[in-house]
Chain A
Amino acid sequence: MRQSAVLDQLREQIATIEGSAAPKAVLPFGLESIDARLPGGGLSCAALHELAGSTALADDAAATVFLAGILARTEGPVFWCLRWRDLFAPALDLAGLSPDRVIYVEAGSDVNVLTAMEECLRHSGLGGVVGEVKALSTTASKRLQLAAEKSCVPAFVFRRALPLDAPASGTAAVTRWRLRAHPSEALGIPSLARPRWALALERVRGGEPQLWIVEGCDATGRIALPAELVDRPDRQEAQAAA
């Protein structure tokens, strides 16, 4: 379902009016089914993105690695602003985000995390800025979005332990992602397969919400689509043809 040329043209006009007509860099996931659903073909670099797991720690853990995988594909140092120290650095390295690139800022409170993020976003050339917070107000998100636009640094607000039924309050973030752990493939031996996540794009400016089941990051931070899910439409077509 590609958007029609008319819509593209209209978007271009609106972008000209908004003053953001310059071609923006995007971070593609490298998966056609996801990139096609994002305006511009990937995560916009000069924008604020929101990301959440759930109250279950494993979901927050999945969101952490998902984020590390995105940042592994950017260039430049990454500032990771935390409220407290429960992030385990080796996991970021395992997702391809080398420890050389990450500078942690342990800011202590939501307000401090957002302040630190804004300070970081004043500097262009960073690979990304992450802030882990509990709450995000509309005003704070607008400030971050403006700062990210100006410096062309992707900003990620990681909403820690966000309940599943939390009302999607209006923030200025361009996208909002939610990750949940999903049962992985049974290998038939006492071992674990590559983890799977239910990756939900809950909100995207200029697009439709989506849900994918993906396989977790590899050593270069890339997610993948599970093989049997990729195959499924073909199989259905084959069945239909038969």
Chain B
Amino acid sequence: MRRVVSLFLPNWSTDRIVRKLRQQPDRSARSAASPAPSPAPAPLVTALPDHGRRVVASVDAAARALGIRSGMTLTQARGFAPDLLVIDGDPEEDFQGLKRLALWATRHYSPVAAPDPPDGIWIDITGCAERFGGEVPLIKHLYRRVLASGLNAQIAVADTAGCAHAVARQVPSGRPTIIEPGKARTALAILPVHALRLGPGVADELRRMGFERVEQLMAAARAPLAKRFGLQLHKRLDQALGHLPEPIKPIFAADVPRARRSLLEPIGTAEAFAHVIGDLTTDLAALLLRAGLGARHLDLYFERVDGHWQAIRVGTAKPSRDPAHLAKLLCQKIDTIEPGMGVEAMTLVSPLTEPLAGAQADALAARRGPDLPALIDALANRFGARQLYQATARPSSMPEREIDLVPPLGRAALEGWDAALPRPSRMILPPEKVEVTAMLPDHPPAMFVWRGKRYRVARADGPERLHGEWWQSEGQEVDTPLSVRDYFQVETADGGRYWIYRLGDGTQRATGPMSWYIHGAFA
């Protein structure tokens, strides 16, 4: 299922200018020295020449609040706000800025992103949400990052680019709008007709004819409307509904290593893809070798006959330019591609590279031990990089926090744990409550009931007293508000060893309610 994000930046031109001004150090120094360090910034508009007049092009929030709209003449606008700050608009620079924003999105969210001039970008997040733990976290992450950079933004996600575009612009809410899969039609129905990106004047004329909402347009007979307005109207409607394809042509940075193959005949089988991937990686490896670089990220784009772009993205644990290795990583993901009517061109881009010195060819390679980076890449690209980790010790007095998970091959040496402290090999997380018969205050349990089963304790060792980390979160731990645990190792009558703790020190109520939990099992 395709999922497209439309990021709408209602004040793109002015926000961009404000950001730029803020970044200039001399300007910020001057404003800091001035007596009123801009508590309420002056309303800002950009102006463009139009038939010998200068008209307002883009309006920031302060100016909008004063009633200034784009399309007004500057004279008119100055009537609303005498202290109006006017800067010449630069549509070309606005577009370049959008391109940079789209490139940033390709690095962080999805290989397929493109500017949507004049004031938005598209991101095709199909299959990219797993890395963030789902679509909602991805969108929230994007929204926070965009807001934090000082841009006003509205975000919508939908099945089609047209629907996401319309919703992002027409639903002014303070948070991202998510149109669930299959709900594009319902969402579009209630929007006004001009949400459909129609040609100039078309929406006005439709409204004169009585078409207010898209649902009326969907219900109306097509032929008379098509005769009057041309094919564009229904093309836009069908694109928004997903009946016609609306490809997003992804943007690449100009200076990154890139290899491309246009194919004489459209291909659609995994074997054919694998063959082209082999060619592309060989080409790219030659480019990388010349530049003395190794790839850390690879994006492989598939250009379908119907203009639709799909992409697969792989990463490597160490910079690499071994064509066989890179091809193997890419081939693992071929099955995520829907070839449709066939793929007519493939492009391989390496957006992230690192210097890699030449290595001497080595006939004894097989003897030097396993090729760990290759294996780790293969596993990480199949299961996700976060699913691969090594464990190392972390100083903490709570056993569940004694482990730090680090990416494999990340560190030269990992720390071990204190051999004197007994630690179970299987943890029960979160700890489960058990019914215990024990003498207070310090005797180990004589019997406990766990998951409905009764265990008689034959032998026990303990207690090992652990104090909660009161210094975390100002004296109150978020997850364990009670602070003292007395751990006992117990051996049941049949020899099983378990780790049981009592919450509370037995004398002060504040340290815990004296209830018992099971936290793990020993060998």
In this assembly, does A212 line the interface, its C-beta being within 8 Å of a C-beta of chain B?
no
In this assembly, does B428 line the interface, its C-beta being within 8 Å of a C-beta of chain A?
yes
| Beta-carbon contact of A112 and B428 below 8 Å | no
In this assembly, does B522 line the interface, its C-beta being within 8 Å of a C-beta of chain A?
yes
Q: Which residues 455-481 in B have Cβ within 8 Å of A in the complex?
A: 458-461
In this assembly, does A147 line the interface, its C-beta being within 8 Å of a C-beta of chain B?
no
Interface residues on B, range: 35 or more
Given A65-B425, A77-B370, A90-B417, A99 and B390 contact (CB-CB distance below 8 Å):
yes
A187 to B425, CA, bound (A): 23
Interface stretch, picked from A6-14, A54-62, A135-143, A228-236, is A54-62
Given A99-B415, A102-B390, A90 and B423 contact (CB-CB distance below 8 Å):
yes
Given A104-B388, A104-B389, A192-B460, A182 and B495 contact (CB-CB distance below 8 Å):
yes
| Beta-carbon contact of A86 and B427 below 8 Å | yes
Main secondary structure of the interface of A (DSSP, over half): mixed
| Beta-carbon contact of B379 and A116 below 8 Å | yes
Tell me which residues across on chain A come within 8 A of B498, comparing CB atoms: 57-58
A198 to B496, CA, bound (A): 11
A94 to B379, CA, bound (A): 27
| Beta-carbon contact of A124 and B522 below 8 Å | no
| Beta-carbon contact of A64 and B426 below 8 Å | yes
In this assembly, does B392 line the interface, its C-beta being within 8 Å of a C-beta of chain A?
yes
A186 to B424, CA, bound (A): 21
Q: Which residues 388-431 in B have Cβ within 8 Å of A in the complex?
A: 388-393, 399, 402-403, 408, 413-417, 419, 421, 423-429
Partner of B521 from the list A60, A102, A104 (CB cut-off 8 Å) is: A60
Measured CB to CB, the closest approach of chain A to B428, in angstroms, equals 7
A186 to B458, CA, bound (A): 9
| Beta-carbon contact of B408 and A92 below 8 Å | no
A72 to B391, CA, bound (A): 16
| Beta-carbon contact of B379 and A119 below 8 Å | yes
| Beta-carbon contact of A115 and B382 below 8 Å | yes
Interface stretch, picked from B50-58, B89-97, B485-493, is B485-493
| Beta-carbon contact of A195 and B523 below 8 Å | yes
Scoring A residues 141 to 177 as 1 if CB is less than 8 Å from chain B, else 0, what string do you get? 0000000000000000000000000000000000000
Measured CB to CB, the closest approach of chain A to B72, in angstroms, equals 58
A94 to B408, CA, bound (A): 21
Partner of B413 from the list A89, A100, A122, A197 (CB cut-off 8 Å) is: A100
Tell me which residues across on chain A come within 8 A of B417, comparing CB atoms: 89-90, 93-94
In this assembly, does B42 line the interface, its C-beta being within 8 Å of a C-beta of chain A?
no
Partner of B523 from the list A91, A105, A122 (CB cut-off 8 Å) is: A91
Tell me which residues across on chain B come within 8 A of A76, comparing CB atoms: 369-370
Given A76-B370, A92-B425, A219-B419, A66 and B391 contact (CB-CB distance below 8 Å):
no
| Beta-carbon contact of A88 and B392 below 8 Å | no
| Beta-carbon contact of A125 and B426 below 8 Å | no
A198 to B379, CA, bound (A): 36
Given A181-B496, A184-B459, A195-B497, A126 and B522 contact (CB-CB distance below 8 Å):
no
Scoring B residues 198 to 220 as 1 if CB is less than 8 Å from chain A, else 0, what string do you get? 00000000000000000000000
| Beta-carbon contact of B461 and A190 below 8 Å | yes
A76 to B367, CA, bound (A): 13
- Among residues of A, the one whose C-beta sits closest to the C-beta of B369 is A125
A100 to B402, CA, bound (A): 16
Tell me which residues across on chain B come within 8 A of A19, comparing CB atoms: none
In this assembly, does A216 line the interface, its C-beta being within 8 Å of a C-beta of chain B?
yes
Partner of A191 from the list B408, B414, B461, B496 (CB cut-off 8 Å) is: B461
In this assembly, does A123 line the interface, its C-beta being within 8 Å of a C-beta of chain B?
yes
| Beta-carbon contact of B425 and A64 below 8 Å | yes
In this assembly, does A120 line the interface, its C-beta being within 8 Å of a C-beta of chain B?
yes
| Beta-carbon contact of A77 and B496 below 8 Å | no
Tell me which residues across on chain A come within 8 A of B413, comparing CB atoms: 100
Q: Which residues 418-450 in B have Cβ within 8 Å of A in the complex?
A: 419, 421, 423-429, 444
Scoring B residues 329 to 341 as 1 if CB is less than 8 Å from chain A, else 0, what string do you get? 0000000000000
Scoring A residues 40 to 72 as 1 if CB is less than 8 Å from chain B, else 0, what string do you get? 000000000000000011111110111010000
| Beta-carbon contact of A64 and B523 below 8 Å | yes
Tell me which residues across on chain B come within 8 A of A58, comparing CB atoms: 492, 495-498, 521-522
In this assembly, does A217 line the interface, its C-beta being within 8 Å of a C-beta of chain B?
yes
Partner of A60 from the list B370, B426, B492 (CB cut-off 8 Å) is: B426
Q: Which residues of A contact B (CB under 8 A)?
A: 56-62, 64-66, 68, 76-77, 79, 85-95, 98-100, 102-108, 112, 115-116, 119-120, 122-126, 180-184, 186-187, 190-192, 195-198, 216-217, 219
What are 18 A-B pairs with beta-carbon distances under 8 A? A58-B492, A58-B498, A61-B523, A76-B370, A86-B429, A88-B403, A89-B391, A90-B402, A98-B414, A100-B390, A107-B383, A107-B387, A116-B382, A120-B379, A183-B495, A190-B460, A190-B461, A217-B523
